[in-house]
Amino acid sequence: MTEACAPAGAVEGLLAELREGWGGGVLETQAPRARRAFIAVDAKDVRSLVQWMKEKWGGLHLSTITGRDTGAGFEVLYHFFVRGTVVTVRAAVPAASPEIPSITDLVPGAVFYEREVHDLLGIKPVGHPALLPLVLPEDWPAGQHPLRKDWAPAGGGER
Amino acid sequence: MNALMQAVWVLVFPGFLFLFVYALFCEWLDRKLYARLQNRVGPPWFQPFADFVKLLAKEDVVPKGASRGFFLALPPLAVAAVASAFLYVPVYAERAPYWFQGDIIVVAYLLSLPTLIFFLAGWYSNNPFSSIGATRAVTQLLAYEVPLLLVILGPALISGEWSVSGASAYMRSHPALIPVQLLGLAVAVVALQGKLERVPFDIPEAETEIVAGTFTEFGGRRLALFRLATDMEMVVGAALLGSLFLGGYGPVGPVPGFVFFLLKTLFIVFLLCCLRAVSARIRIDQMVGFCFRWLIPAAVAQVLILVALKGWWLP
Amino acid sequence: MARVKIPVGPQHPALKEPALFMFDVDGEVVVDAQVRLGYNHRGIEKACESRSYLRCIYLIERICGICSHSHTTCFCQGVEELLGLEIPPRARFIRTVVAELERIHSHLLWLGVAGHEVGFDTLFMYTWRDRELVQDVLEMISGNRVNYAINTVGGVRRDLDPSVVEKTLRAIDLLEERTHYYQKVATGETTFMARMRGVGKLSREKALELCAVGPFARASGVDIDVRRDDPYAAYNEIPFQVIVLDWGDVLARAVVRVLELYQSYNIVRYALKSLPDGPVAVKAPRKVPPGEVVSRYEAPRGEDIHYIRSNGTEMPERVKVRAPTLGNLPAVVESLKGGYVADIPITVASIDPCLSCTDRIVELRDLSSGREQRMTWQELQSYGARWHGR
């Protein structure tokens, strides 16, 4: 073993560092267990937070981006692995204008994840270099986003 | 030599029919050995024949945009070229039926024809995989053909006989020359492997890269003929090497010479098969580099050895 | 030759599963590459939302044939975290044993495929023959050769009895011996090495930037491994090493995998010899309290991550699955550029792509004749019955 995993108390330290160091508005933080942190921010602050984490913490690994239909709107979760902790950045996206700023220039590894979220939930990453369909067919009807809660396959789907 | 005898010679034995059966047998042997070397069971003896018949019965497709004329003409042409070459290799008599001084060159030429035909087949298929395969086939041809020709001419140089039959007979009467020619035999086997487009030189038809290369668009009876041409090329190539480097046909006591022809050909096929089983496919640039860096110098060295031998020790 | 576009996929001998890699090729050199997925969608994430957690396990088991245990473990440990359930130590060890056996089977499979991609079919045949050993062991343990179905929320569904432990240990010894032999064969074969060394280079910077994972990233000098960084199951009680190399080529990826095989043999041995006593499962309630969890797992191909959100009912609100292959695709596309056409198969294979893991999200079966055609479950069932009844 080259190094051990991050100890249990590390998450609180990390979150404290973030609250002090980063200028943007942290809406809410949670640390449910060792090596897990959830940070809620405004969608417009995501880029600045990613930039800050990248510069201050370094070695920022983006595991994936999850999109979620909350019923009232959408929520996008960026799962980062940094400093031995899974830092999930949560941003609410209004249903009326489902758009998020793209982070592909900061984290090039986000290219496919943003395309996936765009395909399945119709949340548009503004500034994405090549927003082609990734997982849906080319002739998929526009405006159909399968992972939205109000979407169901014709015939009521399978049971 | 009457007309009937000639027809039997060309069509039945040692001509086309014998070559056909022997080629399919050698394919089976090659596949079976390959399978056993890989710890598999391998196909039953009639598998190549079954494959051939099955392919003959398949739908015949000429793709849109491909040249119809070439598609029709090329496969039989490839078979014809290789089958003609076989007529100059001694099989069951001292001399091949139609031997003449200089037939070594004709055989070498006829054996190069299939590669050029494969190139045309790929080039006129209107398919990116095929055209890449075609380019690779010709690039590879330039690399292995030079050393192959050099070492094949070795026995001719030392014997002064420019026919396969003559050179073969000379080797038989001077068995001490066989060990001297081992380097040449090694070069020839490796180059023949390249000519037959088999691992590690199956670059023009590399399955995982370019599907089936030049043959991608071919199916049915055209593919059957191309495969037959390749099988026959293996037999003719093996027979040629067996004749030139190992003395080929030649009776020993009560054992007929034909048996030795078979044994020597099968030995070459065995070498080709082992080479295939123990290596990975190399890249085209590595292939060309290998031929120019190792194969050609080795071939030149072999020729120099023979020339020196002829000049000083053999009157 | 002029610049041409070469499609590799959706159907291509080098790919065992459908994906499309579109290459711009200048002679024998790759200039540019794009990836297109979506030929394999099964709508698993959506389908999970209308199933109970228990039924979800069976669905998630079928995300992938090779790393099925990875996905179910990842899912089960996430649900257990939501439930606040502590699973028995014996269950954690059994999960670890099956996980490592799965890794062994996957890495052996990969070694064979790598041989096949560069035309070294002999290596392919030998490794796949011996892979049967580990498949037999898995069958003995779980009853299945693939899709072991040994996980459940709260533990595992089958116990290991002493005779199984003993047989497994024997098979592991044999496999280790065979692996040494393959290592010797592969490194001794000049043509094979010539096709691996210096091919598909990926620098450490690029690997980090493009968020590569697993053996692919570790071969470029990125020191990540969920088993150590974020321990789950019994990994914090078992000593093992994370193999990291900094050569960044296909050879490094092969060596990392072979060295990981030895680590896995040791992990299985250690886990079986120090198997704790006790039950193998605890009872889990059907309803899961509201909450959310991020669960990670080191699958044979790299980090597998599930995000599960519960809403207090017996069905999940949202299940998100990111299989390692999707994480590695941007990086492998990068490493293909500037390489030879001949190196495409082995480079793509070097991430051990598993596209059924990657592609799994959407419903809809068929868009024949330009019109959408959707089938209900009943229609599909009767279609299947008709088809098989022919």
Residue B288's CB: how many other CB atoms inside 10 A? 17
Judge whether A1 is closer than 8 Å to chain C, CB to CB.
yes
**How far apart (Å, rounded) are the C-alpha atoms in residues C377 and C216?**
39
Judge whether C28 is closer than 8 Å to chain B, CB to CB.
yes
Q: Which of B207, B277, B280 is facing C13, going by the closest CB pair?
A: B207
DSSP codes of every residue in chain A: --SPPPPTTHHHHHHHHHHHH--S-EEEEEEEETTEEEEEE-GGGHHHHHHHHHHHT---EEEEEEEEE-SSEEEEEEEEEETTEEEEEEEEEESSS-EEE--TTT-GGGHHHHHHHHHHH--EEET-S----SSS-TTPPTT--TTSTT---GGG---
Contact A86 C296 (CB under 8 A): yes
Q: Under DSSP, is residue B282 helix (H, G, I), strand (E, B) or coil?
A: coil
Which chain B positions have a beta carbon within 8 Å of C115's beta carbon?
Answer: 280
Exposed/middle/buried for residue A9 (C-beta within 10 Å: 0-12, 13-18, 19+): exposed
Contacts of residue C36, Cβ cutoff 8 Å, sequence gap at least 6: A134, C9, C19, C20, C21, C22
Beta strand extents in C116-228 (DSSP E only) = 151-152, 155-156
pLDDT of residue B311: 78
Exposed/middle/buried for residue C159 (C-beta within 10 Å: 0-12, 13-18, 19+): middle
pLDDT of residue A1: 35
**How far apart (Å, rounded) are the C-alpha atoms in residues C12 and C23?**
13
Exposed/middle/buried for residue A23 (C-beta within 10 Å: 0-12, 13-18, 19+): exposed
* Range C110-119 average pLDDT: 86
* Range C38-63 average pLDDT: 83
Going from the C-alpha of B221 to that of each of A137, B25, B210, C255, the distances in angstroms are 37, 19, 22, 45
Contact B285 C340 (CB under 8 A): yes
List all residues of chain C from 98 to 157 with a beta carbon under 8 Å from chain B.
115-123, 125-126, 129
Per-residue confidence band for C210, with pLDDT thresholds at 50, 70 and 90: confident
Contact B208 C345 (CB under 8 A): yes
CA C289, C151, C59: angle at the middle one, nearest 5?
75
Per-residue confidence band for C360, with pLDDT thresholds at 50, 70 and 90: low
Q: Under DSSP, is residue B314 helix (H, G, I), strand (E, B) or coil?
A: coil
Which token pair is C23? 């290459």
Contact C126 B39 (CB under 8 A): yes
pLDDT of residue C101: 92
Contact between C79 and C60 (Cβ < 8 Å)? no
pLDDT score of C365 more than 60: no
Contact B37 C122 (CB under 8 A): yes
Contact between C202 and C247 (Cβ < 8 Å)? no
Which chain C positions have a beta carbon within 8 Å of A80's beta carbon?
Answer: none
Judge whether B95 is closer than 8 Å to chain C, CB to CB.
no
Contact B135 C1 (CB under 8 A): yes
Q: Is residue C13 part of a domain?
A: no
Owning domain of residue C312: 42-357
Contacts of residue B15, Cβ cutoff 8 Å, sequence gap at least 6: B8, B9, B83, B86, B87
Q: pLDDT above 70 covers what percent of chain A?
A: 93
More confident: B237 or A137: B237
Contact A79 C43 (CB under 8 A): no
Q: Strands A73-82 and C316-322: what pairing?
A: unpaired
Q: Which of C6, C12, C122 is facing B278, going by the closest CB pair?
A: C122
On average, the pLDDT of chain C sits at 83
- pLDDT of chain B, 315 residues: tens digit per residue: 688 877 777 777 777 888 899 999 999 999 999 999 888 898 999 999 999 999 988 888 888 877 788 888 888 999 999 988 888 888 877 777 788 888 888 888 899 899 899 888 888 887 888 888 888 888 888 889 889 988 988 888 888 888 888 888 888 888 878 888 888 899 999 999 988 888 888 888 877 777 788 888 888 888 899 989 999 999 999 988 888 888 777 777 777 778 888 888 899 999 999 888 888 888 888 888 888 899 999 999 988 888 888 878 765
The residue type at A154 = A
Contacts of residue B102, Cβ cutoff 8 Å, sequence gap at least 6: B162, B163
Contact between C230 and C296 (Cβ < 8 Å)? yes
Question: Is the pair C, B in contact (3+ CB pairs within 8 Å)?
Answer: yes
Q: Of all helices (H) and strands (E), which one includes residue C356?
A: helix C355-358
pLDDT of residue C381: 61
pLDDT of residue C376: 56
Task: Classify each residue of B229-247 as buried b or exposed e, where b means 16 or more C-beta atoms within 10 Å of its C-beta.
Answer: bbbbbbbbbbbbbbbbbbb
Q: Which of C81, C330, C376 is facing A111, going by the closest CB pair?
A: C330
Q: How far does Cα C290 stand from its chain's mean position?
A: 30
The residue type at C45 = E
Which token pair is B171? 């080797």
Judge whether C252 is closer than 8 Å to chain A, CB to CB.
no
Contact C342 B38 (CB under 8 A): no
Q: Which of C1, C4, C120 is facing B280, going by the closest CB pair?
A: C120
User: Where in chain B are the domains?
Assistant: 62-218+230-312
Contacts of residue B126, Cβ cutoff 8 Å, sequence gap at least 6: B63, B64, B65, B66, B217
C115: left (phi over 0), alpha (psi -120 to 50) or beta: alpha
Judge whether B101 is closer than 8 Å to chain C, CB to CB.
no
CA-CA-CA-CA dihedral for B119, B122, B124, B128, to nearest 10: -130
Contacts of residue A115, Cβ cutoff 8 Å, sequence gap at least 6: A125, A128, A131, A132, A133, A134, A135
pLDDT of residue C326: 83
Which chain C positions have a beta carbon within 8 Å of B202's beta carbon?
Answer: 119
Using alpha carbons, select from C380, C39, C59 the residue that is nearest to residue A156: C380
Phi and psi (nearest 5°) for A111?
A: -50, -50
Which token pair is B91? 């099989």
Judge whether C191 is closer than 8 Å to chain B, CB to CB.
yes
A93 beta partners: A74
pLDDT of residue C380: 56
Which chain B positions have a beta carbon within 8 Å of C14's beta carbon?
Answer: 207-209
Q: What ipTM was predicted for this assembly?
A: 0.88
Contact between C251 and C199 (Cβ < 8 Å)? yes
Mutation target vs A (from C46, C77, C371, C378; most A CBs, 10 A cutoff): C46
List all residues of chain A from 81 to 120 with a beta carbon under 8 Å from chain C.
81, 84, 86, 88, 107-113, 116, 119-120
Give chain A's radius of gyration (CA, Å): 17
Contacts of residue C310, Cβ cutoff 8 Å, sequence gap at least 6: C79, C82, C288, C289, C290, C291, C292, C316, C317
Which token pair is B201? 């030189």
Contact between C361 and A112 (Cβ < 8 Å)? no
* Range A57-69 average pLDDT: 87
pLDDT of residue C173: 92
What structural domains does chain A harbor? 10-99 (3.30.460.80)
Q: Is residue C95 part of a domain?
A: yes
Q: What is the CATH number of the domain that holds C171?
A: 1.10.645.10
pLDDT of residue C268: 92
pLDDT score of C264 more than 90: yes
Residue B54's CB: how many other CB atoms inside 10 A? 11
Task: Classify each residue of B158-174 as buried b or exposed e, where b means 16 or more C-beta atoms within 10 Å of its C-beta.
Answer: bbebbbbbbbbbbbbee
Q: pLDDT above 90 covers what percent of chain C?
A: 15
Q: Strands A99-101 and A124-126: what pairing?
A: parallel
Nearest chain C alpha carbon to B198: C119
Which chain C positions have a beta carbon within 8 Å of B278's beta carbon?
Answer: 122, 189
Which token pair is C154? 């709260």
**How far apart (Å, rounded) are the C-alpha atoms in residues A99 and A119?**
13
pLDDT of residue C361: 43
> Based on the structure, what is the number of domains in chain C?
1
pLDDT score of C75 more than 80: yes
Q: Which of C46, C81, C372 is facing A147, going by the closest CB pair?
A: C46
pLDDT tens digit sequence for A87-128: 899 998 888 888 889 988 888 888 888 888 888 888 888 888
Q: Is residue C36 part of a domain?
A: no
Contacts of residue C73, Cβ cutoff 8 Å, sequence gap at least 6: C95, C99, C151, C232, C233, C297
Judge whether B275 is closer than 8 Å to chain C, CB to CB.
no
Q: Give me the half-sphere count of Cα atoms (radius 13 Å) on the Cβ side of residue B76.
A: 4
Q: How far does Cα C60 stand from its chain's mean position?
A: 13
Contact B199 C116 (CB under 8 A): no
Q: pLDDT above 70 covers what percent of chain C?
A: 90
- DSSP code at position C237: G
pLDDT of residue C370: 36
pLDDT tens digit sequence for C144-192: 888 888 888 888 888 888 888 999 999 999 999 989 988 888 778 888 8
Per-residue confidence band for C373, with pLDDT thresholds at 50, 70 and 90: very low
Beta strand extents in chain C (DSSP E only) = 3-8, 20-26, 29-36, 151-152, 155-156, 291-299, 302-310, 316-322
Distance (Å) from the alpha carbon of C231 to chain A's nearest alpha carbon? 7
Q: Which of C41, C230, C330 is facing A112, going by the closest CB pair?
A: C330
Q: Which of B40, B132, B280 is facing C341, going by the closest CB pair?
A: B132
Contact C241 A1 (CB under 8 A): yes
CA C319, C330, C337: angle at the middle one, nearest 5?
165
**How far apart (Å, rounded) are the C-alpha atoms in residues C56 and C53?**
5
B280: left (phi over 0), alpha (psi -120 to 50) or beta: beta
Q: Is residue C384 part of a domain?
A: no
Per-residue confidence band for C367, with pLDDT thresholds at 50, 70 and 90: very low
Distance (Å) from the alpha carbon of C261 to chain B's nearest alpha carbon? 23
Mutation target vs C (from A3, A5, A70, A90; most C CBs, 10 A cutoff): A5
Which token pair is B62? 């000429």
Predicted model pTM: 0.83
